Amino acid sequence: MTNIAAVVLAAGSSQRFGVENKLLALVDGKPLLSHVLERIAPLPLLASIVVVRPGDEAVMSLVGGHIADIVENDSAADGMGTSISAGVRHAGDVDGVMLVLGDMPLIKQSTYEELLAAFRDHPDKTIVAPTYKQRRGHPVLFRRTHFDDLMALDDDTGAKRILATNAATFLAVPTTDAGILADIDGPV
Protein backbone atom coordinates (compact mmCIF):
# COMPACT_ATOMS: atom_id res chain seq x y z
CA MET A 1 0.00 0.00 0.00
CA THR A 2 1.30 3.44 -0.91
CA ASN A 3 0.58 6.30 1.50
CA ILE A 4 -0.53 9.33 -0.46
CA ALA A 5 -1.65 12.75 0.73
CA ALA A 6 -3.78 15.07 -1.37
CA VAL A 7 -2.58 18.67 -1.38
CA VAL A 8 -5.46 20.90 -2.49
CA LEU A 9 -4.25 24.29 -3.69
CA ALA A 10 -6.82 26.87 -2.58
CA ALA A 11 -4.72 29.98 -1.86
CA GLY A 12 -5.05 31.76 -5.20
CA SER A 13 -6.19 35.35 -5.46
CA SER A 14 -9.03 34.78 -7.99
CA GLN A 15 -7.86 37.86 -9.92
CA ARG A 16 -9.20 36.68 -13.28
CA PHE A 17 -12.50 35.72 -11.67
CA GLY A 18 -13.45 39.17 -10.45
CA VAL A 19 -14.37 40.40 -6.99
CA GLU A 20 -15.83 37.20 -5.53
CA ASN A 21 -13.63 34.36 -4.27
CA LYS A 22 -14.15 31.79 -7.01
CA LEU A 23 -13.72 28.86 -4.63
CA LEU A 24 -16.94 29.96 -2.94
CA ALA A 25 -18.88 30.55 -6.17
CA LEU A 26 -21.87 28.25 -6.48
CA VAL A 27 -21.75 25.51 -9.08
CA ASP A 28 -24.87 23.34 -9.17
CA GLY A 29 -25.93 24.80 -5.82
CA LYS A 30 -22.72 24.35 -3.81
CA PRO A 31 -19.35 26.08 -3.58
CA LEU A 32 -16.84 25.17 -6.28
CA LEU A 33 -14.26 24.00 -3.72
CA SER A 34 -16.84 21.68 -2.12
CA HIS A 35 -17.09 19.74 -5.39
CA VAL A 36 -13.33 19.12 -5.32
CA LEU A 37 -13.27 18.14 -1.65
CA GLU A 38 -16.25 15.78 -2.05
CA ARG A 39 -14.59 14.01 -4.99
CA ILE A 40 -11.38 13.30 -3.09
CA ALA A 41 -13.03 12.47 0.26
CA PRO A 42 -13.75 8.77 -0.49
CA LEU A 43 -10.29 8.12 -1.95
CA PRO A 44 -7.82 5.91 -0.04
CA LEU A 45 -5.61 8.80 1.04
CA LEU A 46 -3.53 9.06 4.18
CA ALA A 47 -4.46 12.74 4.47
CA SER A 48 -6.08 15.66 2.67
CA ILE A 49 -4.39 19.03 3.09
CA VAL A 50 -5.95 22.27 1.88
CA VAL A 51 -3.57 25.21 1.45
CA VAL A 52 -5.33 28.57 1.90
CA ARG A 53 -4.50 32.27 2.10
CA PRO A 54 -3.87 33.55 5.63
CA GLY A 55 -7.06 34.82 7.23
CA ASP A 56 -9.37 33.50 4.50
CA GLU A 57 -12.04 32.66 7.06
CA ALA A 58 -14.74 31.86 4.49
CA VAL A 59 -12.65 29.21 2.74
CA MET A 60 -11.35 27.85 6.06
CA SER A 61 -14.93 27.55 7.30
CA LEU A 62 -15.94 25.67 4.16
CA VAL A 63 -12.95 23.32 4.48
CA GLY A 64 -13.81 22.80 8.15
CA GLY A 65 -16.92 20.95 7.02
CA HIS A 66 -14.72 18.29 5.42
CA ILE A 67 -12.07 15.98 6.82
CA ALA A 68 -8.94 17.90 5.86
CA ASP A 69 -6.00 19.69 7.41
CA ILE A 70 -5.87 23.42 6.76
CA VAL A 71 -2.48 25.02 6.08
CA GLU A 72 -2.23 28.78 5.83
CA ASN A 73 0.37 29.87 3.28
CA ASP A 74 1.90 33.15 4.45
CA SER A 75 3.63 33.48 1.05
CA ALA A 76 0.52 32.87 -1.09
CA ALA A 77 0.94 36.21 -2.88
CA ASP A 78 4.25 34.94 -4.30
CA GLY A 79 2.51 32.26 -6.34
CA MET A 80 1.36 28.67 -6.60
CA GLY A 81 4.83 27.26 -5.97
CA THR A 82 4.73 28.52 -2.40
CA SER A 83 1.42 26.74 -1.81
CA ILE A 84 2.80 23.50 -3.22
CA SER A 85 5.81 23.89 -0.93
CA ALA A 86 3.65 24.52 2.14
CA GLY A 87 1.37 21.57 1.40
CA VAL A 88 4.17 19.09 0.72
CA ARG A 89 6.01 20.23 3.85
CA HIS A 90 2.84 19.59 5.89
CA ALA A 91 2.32 16.15 4.29
CA GLY A 92 5.29 14.80 6.20
CA ASP A 93 6.21 11.14 5.94
CA VAL A 94 4.16 9.92 2.98
CA ASP A 95 5.18 8.05 -0.16
CA GLY A 96 3.65 10.61 -2.50
CA VAL A 97 1.46 13.64 -2.90
CA MET A 98 -1.37 14.32 -5.30
CA LEU A 99 -1.50 18.00 -6.21
CA VAL A 100 -5.14 18.99 -6.70
CA LEU A 101 -6.24 22.42 -7.93
CA GLY A 102 -9.11 23.82 -5.88
CA ASP A 103 -10.68 25.43 -8.97
CA MET A 104 -11.12 22.21 -10.98
CA PRO A 105 -14.52 20.81 -9.90
CA LEU A 106 -15.24 18.86 -13.09
CA ILE A 107 -12.68 16.08 -12.65
CA LYS A 108 -14.50 12.77 -12.23
CA GLN A 109 -13.91 10.73 -9.10
CA SER A 110 -13.10 7.76 -11.33
CA THR A 111 -10.21 9.75 -12.82
CA TYR A 112 -8.73 10.30 -9.36
CA GLU A 113 -9.10 6.57 -8.70
CA GLU A 114 -7.39 5.65 -12.00
CA LEU A 115 -4.46 7.95 -11.23
CA LEU A 116 -3.98 6.53 -7.74
CA ALA A 117 -4.04 2.99 -9.18
CA ALA A 118 -1.47 3.92 -11.84
CA PHE A 119 0.74 5.53 -9.19
CA ARG A 120 0.64 2.34 -7.10
CA ASP A 121 1.03 -0.02 -10.07
CA HIS A 122 4.05 1.76 -11.57
CA PRO A 123 6.60 2.28 -8.77
CA ASP A 124 9.27 3.05 -11.37
CA LYS A 125 7.39 6.19 -12.41
CA THR A 126 7.92 9.15 -10.09
CA ILE A 127 5.33 11.49 -11.61
CA VAL A 128 1.86 10.49 -12.80
CA ALA A 129 -0.67 12.74 -14.53
CA PRO A 130 -3.75 12.35 -16.70
CA THR A 131 -3.97 13.30 -20.35
CA TYR A 132 -6.98 14.16 -22.46
CA LYS A 133 -6.48 14.23 -26.24
CA GLN A 134 -2.72 14.20 -25.59
CA ARG A 135 -2.85 17.29 -23.31
CA ARG A 136 -1.57 16.89 -19.76
CA GLY A 137 -3.99 17.90 -17.04
CA HIS A 138 -4.54 17.67 -13.30
CA PRO A 139 -4.16 16.33 -10.71
CA VAL A 140 -0.46 15.41 -10.74
CA LEU A 141 1.06 12.84 -8.39
CA PHE A 142 4.68 13.01 -7.24
CA ARG A 143 6.70 10.40 -5.38
CA ARG A 144 8.75 11.29 -2.34
CA THR A 145 11.89 11.55 -4.50
CA HIS A 146 10.61 14.95 -5.67
CA PHE A 147 9.68 16.37 -2.27
CA ASP A 148 12.85 18.46 -1.85
CA ASP A 149 12.28 20.06 -5.26
CA LEU A 150 8.58 20.62 -4.52
CA MET A 151 9.37 22.21 -1.16
CA ALA A 152 11.89 24.54 -2.84
CA LEU A 153 9.26 26.07 -5.16
CA ASP A 154 8.82 29.78 -4.54
CA ASP A 155 7.19 31.35 -7.59
CA ASP A 156 4.09 31.13 -9.77
CA THR A 157 5.29 28.51 -12.25
CA GLY A 158 4.17 25.67 -10.03
CA ALA A 159 5.84 22.33 -10.67
CA LYS A 160 6.30 22.75 -14.45
CA ARG A 161 10.09 22.77 -14.17
CA ILE A 162 10.05 19.49 -12.23
CA LEU A 163 7.78 17.92 -14.85
CA ALA A 164 10.01 19.12 -17.68
CA THR A 165 13.20 17.68 -16.21
CA ASN A 166 11.77 14.25 -15.35
CA ALA A 167 10.30 13.02 -18.63
CA ALA A 168 11.99 9.61 -18.26
CA THR A 169 10.08 8.81 -15.08
CA PHE A 170 6.79 10.48 -16.06
CA LEU A 171 3.69 8.35 -16.66
CA ALA A 172 0.85 9.80 -18.72
CA VAL A 173 -2.53 8.19 -18.01
CA PRO A 174 -4.89 8.71 -20.97
CA THR A 175 -8.46 9.52 -19.94
CA THR A 176 -11.76 10.50 -21.54
CA ASP A 177 -12.31 13.03 -18.73
CA ALA A 178 -12.17 16.55 -20.23
CA GLY A 179 -12.50 17.88 -16.67
CA ILE A 180 -8.75 17.38 -16.14
CA LEU A 181 -8.21 20.50 -18.28
CA ALA A 182 -11.12 22.62 -17.03
CA ASP A 183 -10.13 25.11 -14.37
CA ILE A 184 -12.68 27.80 -13.58
CA ASP A 185 -11.28 31.28 -14.20
CA GLY A 186 -14.49 33.22 -14.80
CA PRO A 187 -17.94 33.44 -13.20
CA VAL A 188 -20.01 30.28 -13.61
Predicted local distance difference test score (pLDDT) of residue 67 = 85
Cα–Cα distance measured from residue 14 to residue 109, given in angstroms and rounded to the nearest whole number:
25
Over the chain (188 residues), the average pLDDT of each successive run of 10 is 90 61 88 95 96 94 90 93 96 96 94 97 97 97 97 88 94 97 67
Predicted local distance difference test score (pLDDT) of residue 156 = 80
Q: List the chain domain ranges.
A: 4-181
Q: Do 100 and 139 form a contact (C-beta atoms < 8 A)? A: yes
Show Cβ contacts of residue 85 under 8 Å, excluding neighbours closer than 6 positions. 150, 151, 152, 153, 154
Cα–Cα distance measured from residue 64 to residue 33, given in angstroms and rounded to the nearest whole number:
12
Fold of the domain built from segment(s) 4-181: Spore Coat Polysaccharide Biosynthesis Protein SpsA; Chain A (3.90.550)
Show Cβ contacts of residue 108 under 8 Å, excluding neighbours closer than 6 positions. 39, 177, 179
Residue 111 main-chain phi, psi, to 5 deg? -70, -45
Predicted local distance difference test score (pLDDT) of residue 27 = 86
Ranges of H-type helices in the chain: 32-40, 57-64, 80-91, 109-121, 147-151, 160-164
pTM as predicted: 0.93
Cα–Cα distance measured from residue 103 to residue 36, given in angstroms and rounded to the nearest whole number:
8
